[in-house]
Structure 1
Amino acid sequence: MSVPLDALYDQQLRAALEAWQHASTNRVVLATETDGWRFAFFRFDTTSADPLEAITGDIGVLSRDLVLQWASDKQIVPKLEYAVVHDVPHVSVNTESFAAQLLALVPAKVTKRAIQVFLKQRDSLLEDMKRPNLPSEVINWVYARSAGICEFEGCPAELFRDNLGNYGYYGYLAHIVAAKPKGPRGDDHLSAELAQSPSNIMLCCDIHHRLIDKVDPDSFSQERLKAMIATRVNWRTNQAATLSYPIVHALAFIGDIAGRTTTFSQHDARKALLAAHLTPVSERVAEYFLRDVQGGNDVNDPGYWANFLRVFRAQILHIHTAIRGDGAFGAQAQELAIFPLGNMPAMLLGGWLVGEARRVELFSFRRNPGTWVRPEDSEPPVKFEWAKTPDAEVGSHVLITLEITSEITDEALAAEMLSMPRIRIFPSTYGVDVVAPKGAMERFRNTCQEAWAYAVDVLHATEISICTIAPAAAIFALGMKLQSRLHPPIHMYQMAPLGLPFHAFTLNRHAISVPPHAPGSVLQLDAC
C-alpha cells in the first residue's frame, strides 16, 4: 500500500494528530531517529495493521503540547506508541516498507519523559535556526546581498522593516549546510567550516525558514537553495543595472486582427524593455485605441473605417496632443517605446500620429515564440531594399507597396493602381519576424526613409496610395516616416482577403478622412 510521507506546519500537524487521537480504530506510532532530528507519525488500521497515513513537519509549540499530553493521559485511546530507529524516510517517498519494519519492532507505549528527551535533543540540533551567533559583518553582508528580501524562490517578503514601519533585522538567517553535522543538510566536515560563511547563509521569512529546516528539509538540497540565492543575486544585479537605462514612455497600440481580439501582456512588454536596456517611466505600459467594439475587422464592410473614426475620435485626438513636445509624453522622457499589434491601416495611422519628432524604440511581436523580447539579428542579416518603376513621371499619383511578410503581386492590385508609378519595399527574405531584431528594424527604417524621400522629393508625388502585407511594427515604422510638412494626401488601403484592396482612409497634413465624405467622415487635428 503506497503511503507517502507528508510534511505539515505546526498548526496542521496538531490538527491531524487531534483527528487521529479521536478514532479508536487507529494505531499511532511516533518514530524518531537516534541522535537525529527527523521524526514521523504513522497511523495504522488496528483491524488490518495496514499503514494509512504518515506525517512529519514542524513539531512546534502546538503539536509538541498535544504529543506530551497524549503521552501522559491514560484515558486516551488509542495509546501513542514510540520507536527509535536509524533512518526515518524522507518526505514524499513511499513508506510502506518502513511501516512494515516499524511494526516488526513492536513499538512500546510512549512516556512523557521519552518525548521530552527527544524534543530537547532535536532543539539542540536546531538551536542555530533561532538566531545564529554570527558576526555583524556577516549579517550585514547577507542582508545587503538579498536587498533585505526573503531569498526563497518567488517570495517578495521585505525583512528590513515590520508591519508598523520600524526598521531592523526581521528575517531569519538559515544555514544551507546546517551548523551542526546532524542538522538539516548537515555534513561532518562542512558544517563547522561553513558555519559563519555568508555563502552558506540564506535570508528567509518565517514561513520559508521553517519550510526548509523543519517542515520539509528533504525537498531542499544544498544545490537547490544555492540556486535560489544565485537567482536573487542576478535579479538584484539586473535591478541595479536598470538605474543607468534610459527612461522611456512605453505605449502599446493594440487592436483586432481579422476579426480576432488580440491580447497584450504587460509582463512580457516589461521583460522586453529591460532586455533592451530601457526603463519604463511607469509600472504599466499605456494601451491605446484600436480595439473594435463592433466585433472585429470586417474588411468587406465599406462603412468599417467611417465607424472606426467615429469610435476612436477622442483617442486619436488625445494621442495627437500627447505626442507633442509639451504634451503628456514630452515632460518626463524624450524617448518612446512602442508595442504595435493590430490591423494594417490602423498601424499606419498610429505611426503617422507618433512621427519622428523624438527617438522611438519599436518592438515587433514575434508570433512563433509569442513574445515581444527582441532576438539576436540573423546570420546573414536580412537586408531591405526598395525598387522604383523605371521612367516614372514627375508629379503623378504614386503607389507604395510594403511587402515584408510576402510579395504583393500584380494580380492582387486594382487596375488603377497598376497604372501608377510604383515603389516596392521588400526584404531579402520574406517572413513575419524579419524586423524583430533591433538591427533589422533600423535597416528597415532607413530603407523606408529612402523610398519616401524619393516619392516626395524626387517624384513630387501629388498623391500617394499605400498597400501593405507586413508585420504591424513594420507598417507602424513606415507610418512614422510620412512626416514631410507638405506631404501630399496619403491613401491607405486595406488588403482584402477575398477581393481587391479597398480605400480605408486618407491622411492630409492636418486631417484624417474616410470614404464616403459624409458629415463626421473628417477628423481635423490642427487648424489649417
Structure 2
Amino acid sequence: MRLSTIPGIDIVAPRWNNVSNLFLGVGHLPRRFKSTEAVGETTFERRASIPNKVQNILWAQAAGRCEYRGCNELLVGDLVSNTPHANKGYHAHIIADSPDGPRGDVELSKKLAKDPDNIMLLCDVHHRVVDREKVEEHPATLLREMKREHEERIENVTAITHDRGTHPLRYAARIGGNEALIPKADLKIAIIEGGRFPIHRGNIDLESTGLDFTEEEPDYWKTHLRNLRNGFREKLGGRLERGEIKHITAAGIAPIPLLIELGRLLSDIRAVDVRQPLRNPKGFHWDHSSPSLSFDILEASATAARAVALKIEITAEISDERINRVLDGATPIWSIRSSVRGNDVMRRESDLAEFARVCRAVFDLIRSAHGHEAEIHLFPAIPASTAIEIGRGWQPKAHPSVHIYDENRRVGGFHLVHALDHVEGKGTSE
C-alpha cells in the first residue's frame, strides 16, 4: 500500500483491532514516528498485535469503561451516530511496547508488551492525554495506581449479589432559607461502599427545594408536610403494594420535623437503611474509624402529668429554661443525651442503631411512668438521620402522641409545628 514519499520518516500504518472485529480508526493507533537515514518510499512498521486473550482480560477487568481516574466513560455505543455497539476503547500501554514510546524502557518494553497488567483501557480523550499531550505528568506509577483503583472498584461492585439491590430515596427541603441538595453520586457511592447497589432507574426523589417559603411563614409546615405525603404516596404507594420495592436507602437534608414525618411514612417498610450526611468529609458513607457514641437517659419523676417534655441532645445541649418558656414550669422533663455533642458526631451505623433502640425504650418508659394518656413534647437538637429514626420507631398503638417543636430564633425559640398522633397513626401539623 503506497501512501506518499516522505523522506526520513517511517509512518505506522492503520491496523485492525481484534476486539469485536471492529476497525477502530486512526485515533486508536499508537502513533510512532522514527527518523531514519533512508530516503525514498515511505515504509510501514507493524507492531505485534495484542492477543485476543489479553484484550478480553483487559475489557473484563475494566468492565468496558475508561480506567482514567474520574472518567469511567462507557466505551461501547454512541448515541450521536446511533451505533449502539460501536467500540470506542483504546489500549494504552503503561510501559510502552517499544523503548522509544511513552514511558518506554529498553528492558521492560518488550517484556511487558502483552501483559494485561501493563495495559489500560481508555477513552479517546485520556488516551491522547497520557500518550501524547501530558506524558510527563503521567508516570507509570500514577497510571498503575489508576488502573488498580478502577479494577478493584469493578471487582467490588460486580461481587454484589442481585439480592443486595436498593432504591435510593432522597428528601431535601430548604433549611433557614438555604437550599438543601443531595447529590445522587454521593449517595450512590455510599450505597456501593456499604455492600449494596442502586437498582437501575430505582431512584426515589421527594425533594421540595423549589418552594419559596421560610419556616416562620404560616403555610410553611402545612405545605411541606402535604407535599411530602403526596409525593410519598405517588412515588412509593403503588410500588410498595405491588411488592416492587424490597429495600430502601434513605437520606434526608431538611428541617427536623419534616424528617421525622418522613421516618413515620417509612415505618411500615422493614428493610430501610438510613444514611447520615457527614460534613467532613462530605458524603453519606459511614466512618467506622470514629469513636462510638453512648446515650444516657435522664428520667423525670413519675407523675400523672399529661404533658411530658423530652429533650434529645446530640448536636447541642438544651437548657430546661428554654423548655419552660414554652411549657408549664412544672412539666416533667426527660432527656436523651449523647456522650459527645456536635454537628458531625453521628458517624457510625451502629451508633444510629443504638440511638433508635434507646429512643423506642424512652417512649415506652414515659408511657409506663406517666400513663397511657401522656403526650410527649419533643425538643430536638439532633442530626438528620436520628430524626428519620424517631419517626420510624414511633408506634401509634404503643407509644404516646409526640408533639414536635422546631427552634427558630426569628419567632422567639421553640414553637410547636407538627405532631405524631393516634388518628390512624398519622402525623398532623398545627
The alignment's TM-score, normalised by the length of structure 2, stands at 0.79
Paired with 1:466 and 1:369, the residues of 2 have a C-alpha distance of: 30
**Are residue 189 (structure 1) and residue 107 (structure 2) matched?**
yes
Partner in structure 2 of residue 443 of structure 1:
354
- CA 1:207–1:481 in 2, change beyond 3 Å: closer, same or farther? closer
**Are residue 342 (structure 1) and residue 260 (structure 2) matched?**
no
**SS of corresponding position for 2:350:** helix
**Are residue 514 (structure 1) and residue 425 (structure 2) matched?**
no
Partner in structure 2 of residue 142 of structure 1:
58
Q: Which amino acid in the other structure matches residue 445 of structure 1?
A: A
Aligned match for 1:455, one of 353, 363, 366 = 366
- CA 1:452–1:356 in 2, change beyond 3 Å: closer, same or farther? farther
Partner in structure 2 of residue 180 of structure 1:
98
Paired with 1:313 and 1:434, the residues of 2 have a C-alpha distance of: 31
Q: Which amino acid in the other structure matches residue 205 of structure 2?
A: E
Larger Rg: 1
Partner in structure 1 of residue 323 of structure 2:
413
Checking the alignment, whether the CA contact within 8 Å between 1:493 and 1:503 is kept in structure 2 is yes
**Are residue 156 (structure 1) and residue 67 (structure 2) matched?**
no
Q: Which amino acid in the other structure matches residue 61 of structure 2?
A: R
Partner in structure 2 of residue 52 of structure 1:
none
The alignment's TM-score, normalised by the length of structure 1, stands at 0.66
Q: Which amino acid in the other structure matches residue 169 of structure 2?
A: L
- CA 1:377–1:195 in 2, change beyond 3 Å: closer, same or farther? closer
Checking the alignment, whether the CA contact within 8 Å between 2:175 and 2:255 is kept in structure 1 is yes
**Are residue 469 (structure 1) and residue 369 (structure 2) matched?**
no
Checking the alignment, whether the CA contact within 8 Å between 2:221 and 2:429 is kept in structure 1 is no
Checking the alignment, whether the CA contact within 8 Å between 2:378 and 2:403 is kept in structure 1 is yes
Checking the alignment, whether the CA contact within 8 Å between 1:362 and 1:473 is kept in structure 2 is yes
1:132-188 per-residue CA deviation (whole Å, 9 max, x = no partner) reads 334332232223222233434425242599964458x77444433333333333222
**SS of corresponding position for 2:161:** helix
Checking the alignment, whether the CA contact within 8 Å between 2:310 and 2:333 is kept in structure 1 is yes
Aligned match for 2:306, one of 396, 400, 407 = 396
1:446-495 per-residue CA deviation (whole Å, 9 max, x = no partner) reads 11011011123453242221111111222221122221326443321122
Checking the alignment, whether the CA contact within 8 Å between 1:389 and 1:422 is kept in structure 2 is yes
- CA 1:160–1:394 in 2, change beyond 3 Å: closer, same or farther? same
Paired with 2:225 and 2:180, the residues of 1 have a C-alpha distance of: 17
Checking the alignment, whether the CA contact within 8 Å between 1:290 and 1:342 is kept in structure 2 is no
Checking the alignment, whether the CA contact within 8 Å between 1:269 and 1:285 is kept in structure 2 is no
Alignment: residue pair count: 398
Paired with 2:106 and 2:159, the residues of 1 have a C-alpha distance of: 40
Checking the alignment, whether the CA contact within 8 Å between 1:248 and 1:280 is kept in structure 2 is yes
- CA 1:242–1:423 in 2, change beyond 3 Å: closer, same or farther? same
Q: Which runs of 5+ in 1 are unaligned?
A: 1-31, 38-57, 65-83, 86-110, 516-528
State the identity %: 22
Checking the alignment, whether the CA contact within 8 Å between 2:61 and 2:155 is kept in structure 1 is no
Deviation at 1:408, TM superposition (A): 1.2
Paired with 1:350 and 1:387, the residues of 2 have a C-alpha distance of: 27
Aligned match for 1:504, one of 379, 398, 417 = 417
Aligned match for 2:204, one of 280, 286, 298 = 286
Partner in structure 2 of residue 222 of structure 1:
140
Partner in structure 1 of residue 155 of structure 2:
237
**SS of corresponding position for 1:256:** coil
Deviation at 1:413, TM superposition (A): 1.4
Mapping of 1:8-157 within 5 angstroms?
120=43, 124=45, 127-128=46-47, 132-153=48-69, 154=71, 156-157=73-74
Q: Which runs of 5+ in 2 are unaligned?
A: 1-7, 13-26
Checking the alignment, whether the CA contact within 8 Å between 1:336 and 1:358 is kept in structure 2 is no
Partner in structure 2 of residue 376 of structure 1:
288
Using the TM superposition, name which of 402-411 and 498-507 deviates more: 498-507
Partner in structure 2 of residue 478 of structure 1:
390
Deviation at 1:237, TM superposition (A): 1.0
**Are residue 429 (structure 1) and residue 345 (structure 2) matched?**
no
1:410-468 per-residue CA deviation (whole Å, 9 max, x = no partner) reads 22113534322222111111112222310110111111011011123453242221111
- CA 1:506–1:236 in 2, change beyond 3 Å: closer, same or farther? closer
Deviation at 1:398, TM superposition (A): 1.8
